[in-house]
Structure 1
Amino acid sequence: MKALDSISWVTIVALCVLLGGAPFVPEPHLLEKLRMLVQGTLSQPIDIFDLLMHGAPFLLLFAKIARSMSR
């Protein structure tokens, strides 16, 4: 938990915006991969890796929110 506490809010939000939105055109990878997950077409290993990579900052953000609310 100390590692999570040491990451600043600004850093996590910046990661969410930059990595979560990249590439911005034609559509963010995270939205594309989530759409594929909902449609059931997320089957290629590279697509699963993309979902995890672009979604990781949001997992950190949710963990940090949960940690700050539990104090």
Structure 2
Amino acid sequence: MLRIVDEMPLWLVLLAVLSVGLAPFAPEPHVWQKLRMLASGDLRRGIDILDLCLHGTPWLVLLAKLGRLAFLASRR
């Protein structure tokens, strides 16, 4: 699994975050809306949970990629 993250280009991950991770841009990004719903306890419908997974996955991949880059840089 870490090999997949290591081989993934950073520009591609950033592109996914800027497109899927933030879409739609107006009135607010879906991921932010769904995180607010999760925090308030309103995230109950299946479509909302799927939406959070869809729009949140690029952010998690970016965190994994940056964490992995920092870890590999500290080992050198």
TM-score, normalisation: structure 2:
0.86
1:35 equivalent in structure 2: 36
Alignment correspondent of 2:53? 52
Summarize deviations over 1:20-61 as a string: whole Å, max 9, x none: 111112221111101101111001111011001100011001
Moved segments of 4+, more than 4 Å: none
Larger of the two Rg values belongs to structure: 2
Cα distance in 2 between the residues matched to 1:67 and 1:21: 23
**Could you tell me the percent identity over the aligned residues?**
41
Specify every segment of 5 or more residues in structure 2 that has no aligned partner in the other structure, as ranges.
Answer: none
Paired with 2:60 and 2:22, the residues of 1 have a C-alpha distance of 15
Matches within 5 A, 1:1-71: 1-71=2-72
Tell me how large the CA RMSD over aligned residues is: 0.9
